[in-house]
Amino acid sequence: MEIDKKLAELPLTKSNPKTLESLFGKSTIEPMWVADMEFEIAKPIQEALKKRITNSGFGYEYKPESFFASQKNWYLKHYGIELNKNHIIFSPSITTTISILIENFTSKGDGVIIQPPVFMEFREVIRNTKRSVIKNPLKLVGKQYQINIQDLEEKAIVDNNKVLIICNPHNPVGRVWTKEELKQIVTICKENNIILISDEIHKDIILFDNQFTSALQFVNDYEKIVVCTSEAKTFNLCGIADAMAIISNDEIRNSISSTFKKYNLGRTNALTRVALESAYNQGYPWLLDVISTIEKNSKSIECELENSKIVLIKPEGTYQVWLDFRKVYSDTKEMFVHLTENTGIGLNAGHWFGREGALFMRMNIATTNEKVIDAIKRIKKAVPTK
């Protein structure tokens, strides 16, 4: 797959000189941090958008039956899940939904459990809503992250802890939670009346022989499950995609839905609608191509790091790799500055995902194989040898 050079000319946050300057101290760094892809978007999406742009105007729109049909097919075909249209609500973003859910179902000071190292916005949303961040850190067993079930039980039993947010596949460590692991989580939530939010934004990027299980598969056992997802990551549409929540519990869904109404957050964007519908209907071959490029990139890194002190935590899903530098550095800040200066590459520092990520780095590999190999070689060369 060819990287589209035109992307670099777009005003992307990823390569915004001001953002790079403030994060990395340099405006010209090679950005391999934020989770945007560098692939040209799928041709059917391009065609559909072009057609829509030249087609009459942009009046108010609704999502037609054809949209829901395409979405329903996607879930059925790829996950064996029969979506109930009445359970879906749309919002501008996943974090909007999470934030509203927290406000509507917890009180100031209540605890929301997260599993760091994890997508940093979870922590921000909890803090911004004046709730307490309760950590159930993942544990690294060998080269695989696992859920600390005993610790989760201890956190879940506390009366004030009302919500658990999981990330599946997990950003940044790349785990795809197994059915058995999810079952344990759901059981704990059910026993303690905890609302489970499962952020499944990365669900379509499943690598190698791993199998994705949606938390939706457990709603018959426990209704207080909210699945937040979007196709923004899957089809590289972060600049236009919206998000959806799938909620079978009437009370939770109605409550979130009425807040959306109150703030008029439910408007249908014509381009989003068109892009998503064509992605669901015709985007799969493109996605398969992307997944095989990501797998190739991950294997190349594994190969390059074979006898290195930098350890790859092999991703099961997502297009990020999580690199362990604990054998090379002992100070997080020093590591970040040293690597940035000596590689010229901008990676996400692990501690941005919580202090549990200290001395790790996240690298975005949704780009060409040549670029990934060049980057990992530069990183290998830059690290101190002793």
Question: Please, what is the minimum distance in Å from the beta carbon of residue 89 to ligand PLP?
Answer: 14
Q: Are 200 and 214 in contact (CB under 8 A)?
A: yes
Query: Which residue's CB is nearer to ligand PLP, number 20 or number 173?
Result: 173
Strand partners, 189: none
Question: Please, what is the minimum distance in Å from the beta carbon of residue 311 to ligand PLP?
Answer: 22
Q: How far apart are CA 91 and CA 246, in angstroms?
A: 11
Query: Which residue's CB is nearer to ligand PLP, number 124 or number 331?
Result: 124
Q: Are 37 and 290 in contact (CB under 8 A)?
A: yes
Q: How far apart are CA 342 and CA 62, in angstroms?
A: 51
Query: Which residue's CB is nearer to ligand PLP, number 201 or number 328?
Result: 201
DSSP H stretches of helix in 115-249: 120-128, 149-156, 179-192
3-state per-residue secondary structure call for 26-78: CCCCEECCCCCCCECCCHHHHHHHHHHHCCCCCCCECCCHHHHHHHHHHHHHH
Query: Which residue's CB is nearer to ligand PLP, number 125 or number 328?
Result: 125
**In the numeric block, which tokens belong to residue 275?**
């892009």
3-state per-residue secondary structure call for 145-162: EECCHHHHHHHHCCCCEE
Q: How far apart are CA 25 and CA 37, in angstroms?
A: 23
Query: Which residue's CB is nearer to ligand PLP, number 136 or number 305?
Result: 136
Question: Please, what is the minimum distance in Å from the beta carbon of residue 246 to ligand PLP?
Answer: 14
Q: Are 319 and 35 in contact (CB under 8 A)?
A: yes
Question: Please, what is the minimum distance in Å from the beta carbon of residue 93 to ligand PLP?
Answer: 3
Distance of alpha carbon 219 from the chain centroid: 22
Counting Cβ atoms within 10 Å, is residue 270 exposed (0-12), middle (13-18) or buried (19+)? middle
Phi-psi region of 276 (alpha: psi -120 to 50; beta: other; left: phi over 0): alpha
* Sites of contact with ligand PLP (CB under 6 A): 35, 93-95, 119, 167, 171, 199, 201, 230, 232, 243
Interaxial angle between packed helices 179-192 and 149-156, expressed in degrees from 0 to 180 and rounded to the nearest 10: 20
Query: Which residue's CB is nearer to ligand PLP, number 318 or number 340?
Result: 318
> How many other C-beta atoms lie within 10 A of the C-beta of residue 259?
18
Query: Which residue's CB is nearer to ligand PLP, number 19 or number 308?
Result: 19
Query: Which residue's CB is nearer to ligand PLP, number 245 or number 375?
Result: 245
Question: Please, what is the minimum distance in Å from the beta carbon of residue 12 to ligand PLP?
Answer: 14
Question: Please, what is the minimum distance in Å from the beta carbon of residue 165 to ligand PLP?
Answer: 9
Question: Please, what is the minimum distance in Å from the beta carbon of residue 57 to ligand PLP?
Answer: 27
Residue in the shown chain whose Cβ atom is closest to ligand PLP: 93
Query: Which residue's CB is nearer to ligand PLP, number 238 or number 305?
Result: 238
Query: Which residue's CB is nearer to ligand PLP, number 205 or number 252?
Result: 205
Cα dihedral across residues 133, 178, 89, 271: positive or negative? positive
Question: Please, what is the minimum distance in Å from the beta carbon of residue 356 to ligand PLP?
Answer: 16
**CA-angle at 18, arms to 14 and 19, nearest 5°:** 40
Question: Please, what is the minimum distance in Å from the beta carbon of residue 382 to ligand PLP?
Answer: 26
Question: Please, what is the minimum distance in Å from the beta carbon of residue 41 to ligand PLP?
Answer: 17
| 3-class state of residue 192 by DSSP | helix
